[in-house]
Amino acid sequence: MPSSILEAIKMGMWDFEPTQEPRATNSFSATDALPGTEDKLQVLAERVRLGLPLWHENDRIYYGQRHDD
Domain ranges, ordered by start, for the chain: 21-69
Tell whether the model's pLDDT for residue 69 goes beyond 50.
no
- Residue with the bigger pLDDT between 10 and 27: it is 10
- Tell me, what's the pLDDT at 19? 63
b/e burial code for range 29-60 (CB count within 10 A of at least 16 → b): eebebeeeeeebeebbeebeeeebbeebeebb
pLDDT (tens digit, 9 = 90+) per residue, 14-57?
Answer: 887 766 565 666 789 999 999 999 999 999 999 988 888 888 98
- Residue with the bigger pLDDT between 50 and 66: it is 50
Kindly report whether the global pTM for this prediction surpasses the value 0.75: no
